[in-house]
Structure 1
Amino acid sequence: MKRISLLLGIALLTLGCGSGKENATKSESTQASTPVNPSDYASTITSDELKDMLFTYASDDFEGRETGQPGQKKAVNYLKQHYIDMGIPAAQSNGDYFQTVPLQIMEAPKVSLTVNDKEFKAIDDYVSVLASKDGNINTNEIVFASYGIDDDKYSNYSNLNVKGKVVLIKSGEPRTEDGNYVISGTSEASKWSNFRQEYAAKRDAAKDRGAAAVLFYYPSIYDMAARRFGGSSGRMSLKGKANDMYYFLINENLAKALLSDIDTNDSVKTILASMNLIYTNASNDFTSENVAAYIKGSEKPDEYIVISAHLDHEGVKDGEVYNGADDDGSGTISIIEIAEAFKEAAKNGHGPKRSVVFLHVTGEEKGLLGSAYYTDTEPIFPLANTVANLNIDMIGRVDPKHEEAGDDNYLYLIGSDKLSTELHNISEDINKKYINMNFDYTYNDDNDPNRFYYRSDHYNFAKNNIPVIFYFNGTHADYHKPSDTPDKIRYDLLETRSKLIFYTAWELANRDNRIVVDKATE
């Protein structure tokens, strides 16, 4: 045995006498041929680190992280420093981790509105629901565009010129004689009469056609809208978003002054009526920040996997801090740990083939504003080259449904199959291979009354035909309450769920072919 050891030592010494370059080449060759086990890097995601960070991030010191407020500024600096400490560079080419998001707080504008010399009053008869430019309109005709639908299957705007005109529309959509909806051909309503989509869909249809102003008769939500938009609500929006058109919800009094049979009239016609509108904007401008870092891909650097979470929460109300530990401190801190895992892999020469973007967005609680700015106004990386978005919003708790069932090894997945069958299958396979968690698709149902698919930041990617997965643990008794605190987080679950997302991102970043988009958005 001693002789064999001696001969082996001489052989190794002889090999070691070669040049450093030869040794490096052999080392690199060995590394390249050695299969990479992502579990080696997933192991860097630990409940202890998640807990340590979240107890800071969701502490009272961060004052609930309300968009634009001092606590939110502390939050973005906290995130920035973590990426600096990990050696992960900023995503923006100028080296700035902060993507400035221009916002405005909408206060009730000053509006004077008369029709046929009769004055109508704000809140009593109408509410302005866009922050629009100062200006006035004088016209002697108003175009009634019925339901205000502009769809491939049915359009009220066919052969109708509304450019520069005032347009009157109403809620709902037409049905056939057998009671089915014209657009869907079934008993299922389309987005044109869905409560959460109709408002925006009809606004955008009129805007795309060049309307100067829209009067939207939507009696079932008018009282709610008057409460929300009628006073100094402090509602936020992206600065300049849709401010080239006036958009009003109107009540029955004003609607029937323009068209007495509006409830039953489905025709498209021009109404002869004099209207005078004077509008003065009362919004206040300010800025907030998205935080974006990334690891550049080694083989396909111009293709991107975006992992997102929102960094904001509700702030301080009536002297109580809304810490938002689960919503969405859990997602925010999860991304940092996932980023660390990718960075450790890169240090060992196993960096992702595709670029991985770590995106923390602002203003989610105010209407998905930070993600909308990224996708609709100023993408840091081209959307056409964005392979997928994995969005994390609340993954640190157990909801009542699963708690009662004694099942904490679960996660709700939303959107995984809506744009890419391949993404859904990859997600399932990765889970079975590494975690074996119970995926709950309850909220992925198109008829889900909660409409969660439209309520977090992934939707702004999905509407741009980018495949998404939304990871979610469901709501609980502390949702949007001061009691959503870090001591209630299940850090063992947060670790496991974070590892699952890391494994999925790893597969998407390193597979040979980009996933296929085989289903288009509406």
Structure 2
Amino acid sequence: MKKIFSLLFILPLAYSCTVAQNPSKYANIITEQSSKDHLTILASKEFAGRGTNQEGGKKTVKYLAEQFESFGLKPVVNGSYYQPVALMQVAYKVDSFQLAGQSLINGQDFYIQGDNTNATFHGEEIVFVGYGIQDEKFNELKNTDLTGKIVLVINEGEPKDADGKSLITGTTDKSTWSTSRFKRIQELTKLNPKLILAVNSQNEAMITRMNNRGMMGRVALDRGNAAPNQRQSVPVVHIKKSIADQLLAKVNTSFDQFIATKSAAPSTAKVIKSALHASMGVKQEKFTDPNVVGFLEGSDLKDEIIVVCGHWDHDGILPDGTYFPGADDNGSGTVAVVELAKAFAQAKKDGKGPRRSILFIALAAEEKGLLGSQFYVENPIFPLAQTVACINIDMIGRIDDKHLNGDHNYIHVIGVNKLSTDLKPIVEKANAEIKMKLDYDYDHPEEPMRLYYRSDHYNFAKNGIPSLFFFSGLHPHYHTPEDTIDKIDFTMMTKREKLIFNTTWEIANRDKKPVVDMPLEDAQGTGR
């Protein structure tokens, strides 16, 4: 009986020594070619920027689930690889907009700033208020009642005298009415108009920009609120100069003429006989995009979970057809999650699997505010108390501005001085064979970019889970359509993947989980 007990005692130690041997055999399963093959697909035009609530995103999650299945990872979300993330898109929608007998198109003829719930706006006349300035030295709206009226304002410049001096400052210096972009709009809304039409020489460029991005609205987690908590501020419709000129012609002026006019006194508000009818407002659309989750069960420490994650989403495709390949952000990190899953799965097939379990997660909606990871920590598949570490991979495929003229053999490691003093020694041990420069600059407490708080690991760290963030740095193509696969340094990307594999291997097989011995508030900071 005593001999049997002794054997049982030493078996786990022997097993530990076996699996904790050099992981190079399995790290080398990660190759430049396989990484390039995956990234070529994920950054392709067919996947169209992997947008949230877009077709490219749907193709992405299907592809990732197929990879996890092919490796033999377990589907642990009720038999599925998908954890649906409950989301809500909030956008300003225009059902119809008619002005002066013309049907105008949002994003083509105008863009809107507003937060009203859907409503109808109607009027048979428009009040032109010039610059809309209400200053003690120059008040265009003195004794003018704009309550419930539709207003047209020149949202640029200020009145000048014959010598080109501002009638407000008395000098050639601009007043705050001109330098503060929204001052006159804010002051106009205090007079309770129904709707404001604003014209500015920059409107055409802004209309294009808003058509491409602004009309897509914002995305938030769906908290199941019965009704939106909307304010009812005055909508501001920014129209093209050509449309404004059609209205201004009825009072014998134009945008350019009005700007060029020299005056010694405030202009008087003028009534333009022209009808406006519109139906528009903020609308909410509920939808889901999934976190893609694959589980590799450990051996003797299988109840302890390591999360290896990277977000699969990027900026998607815009209404004009422009798409954002996101080869680096975060196609590279997504590929790394896939490659690590493949390597660990093969180790397990060979009887060398990790002692701790690993949950591989391709996270949704990071670009919308770390939403996929936030949803996961609020709805964990395994209790967070069992999650002993988070390894986050977000952009590892490029050489950043800092290293362009120097050593390319580097990786930024973020989080080594948060929550656990074990993390830095673990990474440095993992790097013993890789021999890469470990750049800790972004971990400095006074680092202005605050990158530790800006990617998905942060939601795990807030819950007291020691977390590492691997990152190759920022570059001029960040969040542009030029973040393409031809700019990826696959030699360095693969080397970084192997370092992350070694780091995960070390955490998965060491006798003790990373200790939490640093104050939680050091990890929480002030948020994103």
Q: What's the TM-score bracket when you normalise by the shorter of the two chains?
A: 0.5 to 0.7
SS at match of 1:64: coil
Whether 1:451 aligns to 2:450 is: yes
- Residue 415 of structure 1 is matched in structure 2 by 415
- Residue 341 of structure 1 is matched in structure 2 by 343
SS at match of 1:460: helix
Show CA shifts across 1:113-133 (max 9, x none). Answer: xxxxxxxxxxxxx9879x9xx
After superposition, the Cα gap between the structure-2 partners of 1:282 and 1:420, relative to the gap in structure 1 and judged at 3 Å, is: same
Whether 1:76 aligns to 2:61 is: yes
**Could you tell me how far 1:246 is from its partner in structure 2?**
5.2
After superposition, the Cα gap between the structure-2 partners of 1:245 and 1:286, relative to the gap in structure 1 and judged at 3 Å, is: closer
Q: Residue type of the partner of 1:516?
A: V
TM-score normalised over the length of structure 1: 0.63
After superposition, the Cα gap between the structure-2 partners of 1:232 and 1:507, relative to the gap in structure 1 and judged at 3 Å, is: same
- Residue 385 of structure 1 is matched in structure 2 by 386
Q: Residue type of the partner of 1:70?
A: E
- Residue 520 of structure 1 is matched in structure 2 by 520
- C-alpha separation in 1, matches of 2:428 and 2:232: 44
- Residue 100 of structure 1 is matched in structure 2 by 84
Q: Residue type of the partner of 1:505?
A: T
Q: Residue type of the partner of 1:235?
A: R
Whether contact under 8 Å (1:38, 1:506) holds in the other structure is yes
- C-alpha separation in 2, matches of 1:507 and 1:356: 12
- C-alpha separation in 1, matches of 2:413 and 2:87: 31
After superposition, the Cα gap between the structure-2 partners of 1:315 and 1:32, relative to the gap in structure 1 and judged at 3 Å, is: closer
- Residue 237 of structure 1 is matched in structure 2 by 220
- C-alpha separation in 1, matches of 2:351 and 2:500: 21
Q: Residue type of the partner of 2:42?
A: Y
Number of residue-to-residue matches in the alignment? 350
After superposition, the Cα gap between the structure-2 partners of 1:89 and 1:456, relative to the gap in structure 1 and judged at 3 Å, is: same
**Could you tell me how far 1:40 is from its partner in structure 2?**
1.0
- Residue 58 of structure 1 is matched in structure 2 by 43
Q: Residue type of the partner of 1:74?
A: K
- Residue 482 of structure 1 is matched in structure 2 by 481
**Could you tell me how far 1:445 is from its partner in structure 2?**
2.0
- C-alpha separation in 2, matches of 1:395 and 1:410: 10
SS at match of 1:372: helix
- Residue 372 of structure 2 is matched in structure 1 by 370
- C-alpha separation in 1, matches of 2:467 and 2:396: 16
- Residue 195 of structure 1 is matched in structure 2 by none
- C-alpha separation in 2, matches of 1:400 and 1:416: 23
Q: Given the alignment, which residue of 359, 366, 391 partners 2:361?
A: 359
Give ranges in structure 2 of 5+ residues lacking alignment.
1-11, 95-112, 118-208, 234-280
After superposition, the Cα gap between the structure-2 partners of 1:31 and 1:420, relative to the gap in structure 1 and judged at 3 Å, is: closer
SS at match of 2:25: helix
SS at match of 1:388: strand
- Residue 291 of structure 1 is matched in structure 2 by 292
After superposition, the Cα gap between the structure-2 partners of 1:454 and 1:245, relative to the gap in structure 1 and judged at 3 Å, is: farther
Q: Residue type of the partner of 2:31?
A: T
After superposition, the Cα gap between the structure-2 partners of 1:232 and 1:316, relative to the gap in structure 1 and judged at 3 Å, is: closer
**Could you tell me how far 1:483 is from its partner in structure 2?**
1.1
- Residue 247 of structure 2 is matched in structure 1 by none
- C-alpha separation in 1, matches of 2:446 and 2:224: 29
- C-alpha separation in 2, matches of 1:79 and 1:416: 29
Show CA shifts across 1:396-455 (max 9, x none). Answer: 000111012x21111111112211111122112222x22121111222122222221111
Whether contact under 8 Å (1:391, 1:457) holds in the other structure is yes
- C-alpha separation in 1, matches of 2:377 and 2:17: 39
Work out which of the two has the higher radius of gyration on C-alpha atoms and give 1 or 2. 2
- C-alpha separation in 1, matches of 2:511 and 2:51: 41
Q: Residue type of the partner of 1:240?
A: R
SS at match of 2:507: helix
Show CA shifts across 1:311-367 (max 9, x none). Answer: 011111332221100000000011111111111110111111110011000101111
Q: Given the alignment, which residue of 16, 20, 27 partners 1:42?
A: 27
SS at match of 2:220: strand
Give ranges in structure 1 of 5+ residues lacking alignment.
1-27, 111-125, 132-226, 251-279
Whether 1:322 aligns to 2:324 is: yes
Q: Residue type of the partner of 1:100?
A: P
**Could you tell me how far 1:497 is from its partner in structure 2?**
0.3
**Could you tell me how far 1:108 is from its partner in structure 2?**
5.2
**Could you tell me how far 1:232 is from its partner in structure 2?**
5.4
Whether contact under 8 Å (1:315, 1:321) holds in the other structure is yes
- C-alpha separation in 2, matches of 1:496 and 1:374: 29
Q: Residue type of the partner of 1:76?
A: V
- C-alpha separation in 2, matches of 1:63 and 1:340: 25
Show CA shifts across 1:5-52 (max 9, x none). Answer: xxxxxxxxxxxxxxxxxxxxxxx9999875632111111010011011
Whether contact under 8 Å (1:420, 1:467) holds in the other structure is yes
**Could you tell me how far 1:247 is from its partner in structure 2?**
8.7
RMSD: 2.9
Q: Residue type of the partner of 2:356?
A: R
**Could you tell me how far 1:457 is from its partner in structure 2?**
0.5
After superposition, the Cα gap between the structure-2 partners of 1:249 and 1:359, relative to the gap in structure 1 and judged at 3 Å, is: farther
- C-alpha separation in 2, matches of 1:236 and 1:504: 34
Whether contact under 8 Å (2:396, 2:472) holds in the other structure is yes
Whether contact under 8 Å (1:291, 1:359) holds in the other structure is yes
- C-alpha separation in 1, matches of 2:28 and 2:345: 13
Whether contact under 8 Å (2:16, 2:511) holds in the other structure is no
* Percent sequence identity over aligned pairs: 46
- Residue 427 of structure 1 is matched in structure 2 by 427
Q: Residue type of the partner of 1:38?
A: P
- Residue 311 of structure 2 is matched in structure 1 by 310
After superposition, the Cα gap between the structure-2 partners of 1:485 and 1:332, relative to the gap in structure 1 and judged at 3 Å, is: same
After superposition, the Cα gap between the structure-2 partners of 1:415 and 1:127, relative to the gap in structure 1 and judged at 3 Å, is: farther
- C-alpha separation in 1, matches of 2:309 and 2:321: 30
Whether contact under 8 Å (1:109, 1:128) holds in the other structure is no
Q: Residue type of the partner of 2:48?
A: E
- C-alpha separation in 2, matches of 1:393 and 1:236: 20
Whether contact under 8 Å (1:128, 1:246) holds in the other structure is no
SS at match of 2:317: strand
After superposition, the Cα gap between the structure-2 partners of 1:429 and 1:33, relative to the gap in structure 1 and judged at 3 Å, is: closer
Whether contact under 8 Å (2:355, 2:508) holds in the other structure is yes
Q: Residue type of the partner of 1:313?
A: H
After superposition, the Cα gap between the structure-2 partners of 1:293 and 1:372, relative to the gap in structure 1 and judged at 3 Å, is: same
